């Protein structure tokens, strides 16, 4: 069974910067990269997007290069083996990319790099010169005896609905989960990855909007902390749009939003309920609607309507639980038992 954390398990602070979750990474010539995006949807670790990586006393050039591609852009550069510290977790001989060219959206700025926390295999073919996957940061924590069990858990600090910036502190805990942060039972689901897919994918039981089920009975889903949105397949997305009269689909810049009409109060919007692992995880209208205080981040003009965190999931998955969903629930990633757990916060 998935294990609880011990008092010696390392942790690192996580910050919610509206368009990204970030952790601080120290490596190279004692450099601290403050804005490294925490991404459960990829597996490679790289830095240098804003400030160049400088090799330090523990840095060993592999002579290889890396190319990492994402939905929102790419990065490439040279590869080193180095000592890496994230919070109170430190490993040596970690494969790390030193970016010398990036193509990433402006709304991620300032950005220093990516910390990939998908399953082993997700970084295959990213670092040239390696025919097999290289160890992720979590793999190395286990192999080097820093943690006993290959499991980690995540607290995403939520955005304050009235002021905008995050309220509370976020944390990634390596080695287990913190039972004191959980209320009620943990919903455990099996990770169900198709061939050559190494993300945190699982089957959800259903999605409900108000009293109406708006999905099939089995939903192929994933958690992706590198994605902002609560993304739904096009059919479920349209069900939400049609459920509230006057709701429209709006594109602002590079972002697409479901927008609820101004004459509907947040309290009157239907509850959004995800059913998984025998439990329900529910968001109110206030939680799935973007606070007007962060509209400037997305170049949204405040016209009285309610812009939401709903996005479209494309064709590969039925639902993607991104940053906007993860901020309201405790999530646990168990590599050893190939499971993912969700719980309500205490």
How far from 81 is each of 59, 77, 140, 231, 325, CA to CA, in Å? 6, 14, 12, 36, 35
What is the β-pairing status of strands 219-223 and 319-321?
parallel
Cα–Cα nearest to 119, from 12, 42, 226, 175? 42
Per the CB < 8 A criterion, the answer to whether 126 and 39 are in contact is no
Q: Which residues pair with 21 in a beta bridge?
A: 16
**Distant-in-sequence, close-in-space partners of 125: CB < 8 Å, separation ≥ 6:** none
pLDDT of residue 164: 66
Which one-letter DSSP state was computed for residue 335? Answer: T
pLDDT of residue 306: 97
What is the β-pairing status of strands 248-252 and 279-283?
unpaired
Domains, in order of start, for the chain: 11-148 (2.40.70.10), 181-345 (2.40.70.10)
Task: Report the distance separating Cα 26 and Cα 83, nearest Å.
Answer: 8
What tens-digit pLDDT sequence spans the chain (346 residues)? Answer: 667 767 789 999 999 999 999 999 999 999 999 999 999 999 899 999 999 999 999 999 999 999 999 988 999 999 999 999 999 999 999 999 999 999 998 889 999 999 999 998 777 778 887 777 889 999 999 999 999 999 999 999 998 876 667 778 899 999 999 999 999 999 999 999 876 678 899 999 999 999 999 998 889 999 999 999 999 999 999 999 999 999 999 999 888 999 999 999 999 999 999 999 999 999 999 999 999 999 999 999 999 999 999 999 877 789 999 999 999 999 999 999 999 999 999 9
pLDDT of residue 132: 77
What is the β-pairing status of strands 182-190 and 200-204?
unpaired
User: What's the half-sphere exposure (Cβ side, CA atoms, 13 Å) at 268?
Assistant: 10
Cα–Cα nearest to 311, from 53, 61, 72? 72
pLDDT of residue 50: 95
H-type helices in the chain, by residue range? Answer: 137-143, 234-243, 285-288, 323-326
pLDDT of residue 195: 62
How buried is 230 (Cβ within 10 angstroms: 0-12 exposed, 13-18 middle, 19+ buried)?
A: buried
């Amino acid at each position: 069974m998935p294990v609880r954390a011990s008092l010696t398990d390392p942790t690192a602070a996580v910050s919610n910067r509206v368009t990204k979750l970030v952790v601080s990474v120290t490596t190279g010539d004692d450099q601290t990269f403050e804005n490294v995006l925490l991404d459960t949807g990829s597996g490679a670790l790289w830095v240098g997007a804003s400030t160049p990586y400088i090799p330090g006393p523990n840095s060993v050039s592999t002579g290889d290069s890396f190319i990492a591609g994402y939905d929102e852009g790419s990065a490439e550069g040279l590869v080193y083996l180095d000592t890496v510290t994230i919070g109170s977790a430190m490993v040596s001989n970690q494969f790390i990319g030193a970016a010398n060219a990036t193509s990433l959206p402006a709304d991620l700025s300032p950005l220093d790099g990516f910390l990939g926390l998908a399953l082993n295999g997700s970084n295959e073919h990213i670092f040239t010169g390696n025919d097999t996957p290289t160890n992720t940061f979590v793999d190395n924590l286990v192999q080097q005896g820093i943690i006993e069990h290959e499991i980690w858990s995540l607290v995403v600090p939520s955005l304050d609905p009235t002021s905008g910036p995050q309220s509370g502190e976020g944390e990634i805990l390596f080695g287990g989960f913190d039972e004191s942060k959980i209320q009620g039972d943990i919903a455990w689901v099996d990770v169900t990855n198709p061939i050559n897919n190494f993300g945190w994918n699982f089957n959800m039981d259903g999605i409900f909007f108000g009293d109406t089920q708006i999905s099939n009975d089995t939903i192929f889903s994933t958690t992706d902390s590198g994605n902002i949105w609560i993304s739904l397949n096009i059919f479920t997305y349209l069900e939400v749009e049609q459920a509230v009269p006057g709701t429209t689909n709006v594109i602002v810049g590079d972002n697409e939003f479901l927008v609820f009409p101004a004459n509907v109060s947040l309290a009157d919007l239907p509850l959004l309920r995800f059913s998984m692992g025998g439990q329900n995880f529910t968001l109110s209208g206030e939680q799935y609607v973007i606070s007007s205080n962060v509209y400037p981040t997305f170049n949204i003009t405040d016209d009285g309507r309610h812009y939401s965190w709903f996005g479209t999931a494309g064709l590969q998955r039925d639902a993607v639980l991104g940053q906007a969903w993860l901020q309201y629930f405790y999530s646990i990633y168990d590599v050893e038992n190939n499971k993912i757990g969700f719980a309500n916060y205490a």
